Amino acid sequence: MNTEPIHNDASNRPLLELRNLKTWFPLRRGLFFGKTHYIRAVDGVSIYLNRNETLGLVGESGCGKTTLGRTILGLETATEGDILFDGRSLPTLSRREMNRLRRRIQVVFQDPLSSLNPRMNIMDIVTEGLVRFNMVEGTRKAHAGRLVREVGLSEDVIYRFPHEFSGGQRQRINIARAISLRPDLIICDEAVSALDVSIQAQVLNLLQALQEEYRLSYLFISHDLSVVSNIADRVAVMYMGRIVETGPTADIISDPLHPYTRTLIAAVPVAGRKRIDEAAVRGEPPSLANPPDGCRFNPRCTEARPVCRETGPAFVQHGDRWVMCHLYEDEPEGRK
Amino acid sequence: MNTPLLDIKHLSVSFETDEGRFRAVDDISFHINRGESVGLVGESGCGKSVTALGITRLIPSPPGKIESGQVIFEGNDLMLRKPKELRQVRGAAISMIFQEPLSALSPLHRIGRQMIEAIGFHRAMPKKAAWEYALSWLDKVGIPDAGERMFAYPFQLSGGMQQRVMIAMALMLSPSLIIADEPTTALDVTTQAQIFALIRQMKQNDTSLLLITHDLGVVWEMCDRVIVMYASKIVEIGSLEDIFSRPAHPYTIGLLKAIPKLSTGRTRLNAIAGQVPSPFNYPKGCNFQERCPHAFARCVEDPALFESGKDHYAACFLVDEPGEWPVPLENAGKDNAR
């Protein structure tokens, strides 16, 4: 099994490490004449995230990125593989231990409104976790006031209710709640996708400022490569349950290796650039219950060769990057 | 003939809510020529979708109300037409593509049946001919196994495929004008690119397109002319090049700067400070002044659309000021938030 470098030394070790993580969902037997089929939403993912770093996880709908985020949070059960948080294996923890650890991993979801209990005022929302973990400093009111100021809202919002705010403000409230417990890691799952462009920019700046101030790590999940490339230090590209390429953001954007990454970049409308070349963006993501033989991207790949339809490529190192593609397997270096 | 296909004059639409009545669209005027693709751009709450619905009088009323204005389509004011006449226009002369195909397609009926229903309403075509016609259009928009798909329900198709069905339905009756409201927002970027190509291909030379979107990248791909809206008003109109190379209104400028470009790592983005004011709380004068880094003394009056270049207008007093831009007020565009 090919993985990125594993660090066992505590000081250097990544904050989060996924080892061959799989999350499969069984389909009802009845549909397929008795044989159980699975939706292989996450199908062998090995990536890592360091402290004070942002890893962008990019992919289109159905690629499994949201399921991956949810599996890390414990909202889905991993089928196979390991999730190491600060060296500790999450799937092996007892419920008590996991609950204690939850303080350190927080999340901001896509829909700002459904993430907020409409019957709780802002003060209650942002201090709920603090109360749970006995971390309130002074009064709840004072603590809430400080938190909302940190995300750029004025203190008088604390007695108001979610429906009174705009999408951008609600997302700030979600962020205030996420940082209230001073976590190590925040998973942002399409956290700015539902926001207008001008508000998106504000919230991305806020996330970056908070990251500096509190030495946060972000797993930033998004379908939008443009957004991700402005916030991530490293990027992992996901397709049909697997990571097809990882590397520093600058490299991924300026010199994409995997044909799918190239497709994603070619598909981004860029004002001032020539209009999108349609030939570069063919095809549709096939069914997750029935992935194609060989390399999963081969039906849509402009560089597909016969071997691509027969065997899946290995995840190989290419400089300081990793890529899962037959085109790069002839490289002499780094082949595990 | 050089008369525009669609000419909207002083359109205003208001809505009644628990908190009172407010104007979603305030005195909008613009036109679309034959064969032209016009982008109507703006962020949440600016009134662009309401404008689109207003053109075909699809605004639910109550609570909506078209307060004033004319919508002159092919020489006739749609505001004066009876509902029966409007139904002839919708779907045929003017067709619409919505953001969520699932909300526009009936979940209870197969696709073939829905398409035939639409054809039958506007054309006198025998059922078999209508079936063949619908099938040929599914083929044209790139739906594989079109024959089988005619028997499918909408939920059995992917988002991209559903949207292609919508496009087929929007185009098959040879409309003069297609109104597309965020047609690709719910789609992946690669599917979006394919849909752009498809719309461009399918649109015959004299079919006009009104494309409503918040995404300037989409405008770049699809439009000849651009209308920028903010908080119920038009703030800028110009050609694609005017808007992207010579934006005149501070909101347009701010919006262009705020778009995240493909970057190489952590970047501080150029946000526009503050947020859109509530329609119950519009300031006196220009609606953008509280967020504008250039707001100055005149901004407390309502700006008209001043000429910034040939066929290029911006509702901003800065455009009307001779010489250097005036010194902004002290609190102009201060970002109270991080």
Query: Containing H/E element for A186?
Result: strand A185-189
Q: Does A333 touch chain B (CB under 8 A)?
A: no
List pLDDT tens digits, range B275-326.
888 899 899 999 999 999 999 999 999 999 999 999 999 999 999 988 777 8
Pairing of the two strands A185-189 and A234-239: unpaired
Domains in chain B, start-ordered, CATH in brackets?
Answer: 6-223 (3.40.50.300)
Average of pLDDT values for B90-95?
87
Q: CATH code at A97?
A: 3.40.50.300
Tokens of A13: 């070790």
Distance CA B77, CA B8 (A): 9
Range of the domain at A34: 16-119+161-328
Cβ <8 Å between A278 and B338:
no
Q: Does A272 touch chain B (CB under 8 A)?
A: yes
Chain A residues 136-165 with a CB less than 8 Å from chain B: 151-154
Residue A4 inside a domain? The answer is no
The region, left, alpha or beta by phi > 0 then psi within -120 to 50, assigned to residue A117 is beta
Cβ <8 Å between B268 and A199:
no
List pLDDT tens digits, range A158-200.
999 999 998 899 999 999 999 999 999 999 999 998 888 889 9
Which of these ranges, A208-212, A248-252, B214-218, B250-254, has the smallest mean pLDDT? B214-218
Phi, psi for residue B228 in degrees, rounded to 5: -105, 130
Average of pLDDT values for B56-65?
87
**Listed residue (B260, B68, B76) closest to B176, CA to CA:** B76
E strands in chain B: 6-17, 20-32, 37-41, 64-73, 76-77, 94-97, 177-181, 208-213, 225-230, 233-239, 306-309, 312-314
For a pLDDT cut of 90, what percent of chain B falls above it?
53
Residue A151 inside a domain? The answer is no
Q: Residue B56: what pLDDT? A: 87
Q: Residue B14: what pLDDT? A: 94
Q: Of A209, A264, A283, which is closest to B338 when you measure between CB atoms?
A: A209
Strand partners, A55: A219, A234
**Listed residue (A21, A20, A5) closest to A73, CA to CA:** A21
Q: Residue A12: what pLDDT? A: 77
Average pLDDT, chain A: 88
Average of pLDDT values for A128-138?
92
Judged against a pLDDT cut of 60, whether residue A8 lies above it is answered with no
Distance CA B31, CA B71 (A): 9
Cβ <8 Å between B217 and A54:
no
Cβ <8 Å between B216 and A197:
yes
Pairing of the two strands A185-189 and A105-108: parallel
Residue A295 inside a domain? The answer is yes
* Chain B: closest CA distance from residue A198 (Å): 6
Which of these ranges, A265-274, B61-70, B75-84, B284-293, has the smallest mean pLDDT? A265-274
* Chain B: closest CA distance from residue A43 (Å): 21
Chain A residues 95-114 with a CB less than 8 Å from chain B: none
The reply to whether the predicted model has a pTM over 0.90 is no
The region, left, alpha or beta by phi > 0 then psi within -120 to 50, assigned to residue A271 is beta
Q: Residue B202: what pLDDT? A: 74
List pLDDT tens digits, range A298-314.
888 888 889 999 998 98
Indicate the pLDDT class of residue B247, thresholds 50, 70 and 90.
Answer: very high
E strands in B74-196: 76-77, 94-97, 177-181
Distance CA A3, CA A5 (A): 6
Q: Residue A1: what pLDDT? A: 39
Q: Which residues of A touch B193 (CB under 8 A)?
A: 266-267, 269, 276, 278, 280-281
Cβ <8 Å between B258 and A198:
yes
Average of pLDDT values for A133-161?
93
Q: What's the length of chain A?
A: 336
Q: Residue B92: what pLDDT? A: 82
Q: How many Cβ pairs within 8 Å bridge chains A and B?
A: 157
| Interface mutation vs chain A, best among B264, B280, B336, most A CBs within 10 Å | B264
Judged against a pLDDT cut of 60, whether residue A292 lies above it is answered with yes
Strand partners, B209: B37, B178
CB A179 within 8 A of CB A98: no
Distance CA B21, CA B67 (A): 11
| Interface mutation vs chain A, best among B48, B256, B269, most A CBs within 10 Å | B269
Q: Residue A3: what pLDDT? A: 45
> What is the number of helices (H) and of strands (E) in chain B?
12, 12
Q: What's the length of chain B?
A: 338
* Triad A91, A96, A100: Cα angle to 5°: 90
Indicate the pLDDT class of residue B131, thresholds 50, 70 and 90.
Answer: very high
Cβ <8 Å between B244 and A202:
no
* Chain B: closest CA distance from residue A219 (Å): 14
Residue A126 inside a domain? The answer is no
Q: Which residues of B touch A265 (CB under 8 A)?
A: 262
Residue A27 inside a domain? The answer is yes
Distance CA B8, CA B31 (A): 6
Indicate the pLDDT class of residue A130, thresholds 50, 70 and 90.
Answer: very high
Closest residue in chain A to residue B264, using alpha carbons only: A250
Q: Which residues of B touch A172 (CB under 8 A)?
A: 337
Chain A residues 223-242 with a CB less than 8 Å from chain B: 223-227, 229-233
Q: Does A198 touch chain B (CB under 8 A)?
A: yes
Average of pLDDT values for A125-130?
95
Cβ <8 Å between A197 and B214:
yes
Closest residue in chain A to residue B199, using alpha carbons only: A278
List pLDDT tens digits, range A40-93.
999 999 999 999 999 999 998 888 999 999 999 999 999 999 999 999 999 999
| Interface mutation vs chain A, best among B185, B190, B259, B275, most A CBs within 10 Å | B190
Pairing of the two strands A16-26 and A80-85: antiparallel
Cβ <8 Å between A61 and B159:
yes
Q: How many domains does chain A have?
A: 1
Judged against a pLDDT cut of 70, whether residue B337 lies above it is answered with no
Phi, psi for residue B204 in degrees, rounded to 5: -70, 165
Integer angstrom CA distances of residue A41 from A21, A242, B69, B176: 10, 9, 52, 44
Q: Which ipTM did the prediction report?
A: 0.83
Residue A335 inside a domain? The answer is no
| Interface mutation vs chain A, best among B44, B188, B246, most A CBs within 10 Å | B188
CB A116 within 8 A of CB A178: no
Q: Where is pLDDT greater, at B195 or A101?
A: A101
Q: Residue B189: what pLDDT? A: 82
Distance CA A292, CA A161 (A): 48
How many alpha carbons fall within 13 Å on the CB side of residue A91? 17
Phi, psi for residue A258 in degrees, rounded to 5: -75, 135
Question: Residue B140, class by beta-carbon neighbours within 10 Å (0-12 exposed, 13-18 middle, 19+ buried)?
Answer: middle
Buried b (16+ CB within 10 A) or exposed e, B205-223: eebbbbbbbbbbbbbbbbb
CB A261 within 8 A of CB A57: no
User: Locate tokens 């751009």: which residue?
Assistant: B41
For a pLDDT cut of 70, what percent of chain B falls above it?
98
Q: Residue B194: what pLDDT? A: 84
Q: Residue A34: what pLDDT? A: 61
Indicate the pLDDT class of residue A289, thresholds 50, 70 and 90.
Answer: confident
Integer angstrom CA distances of residue A70 from A3, A8, A11, A249: 21, 25, 27, 24
Q: Residue A31: what pLDDT? A: 56
Tokens of B301: 């009056």
Residue A134 inside a domain? The answer is no
Cβ <8 Å between A169 and B275:
yes
Q: Residue A283: what pLDDT? A: 72
List Cβ neighbours of A284 (8 Å cut-off, separation of 6 or more).
A300, B158, B160, B161, B191
User: Locate tokens 């007093």: which residue?
Assistant: B317
Distance CA B246, CA A28 (A): 58
Residue A144 inside a domain? The answer is no
Cβ <8 Å between A284 and B197:
no
Cβ <8 Å between B193 and A276:
yes
Distance CA B58, CA B294 (A): 38
Judged against a pLDDT cut of 50, whether residue A333 lies above it is answered with no
List pLDDT tens digits, range B94-109.
999 988 888 788 999 9
* Chain A: closest CA distance from residue B294 (Å): 17
Q: Which residues of A touch B253 (CB under 8 A)?
A: none
Cβ <8 Å between A198 and B160:
no
CB B333 within 8 A of CB B253: no
**Listed residue (A135, A133, A160, A157) closest to A145, CA to CA:** A157
| Interface mutation vs chain B, best among A50, A61, A160, A197, most B CBs within 10 Å | A197
DSSP 8-state assignment for residue B32: E
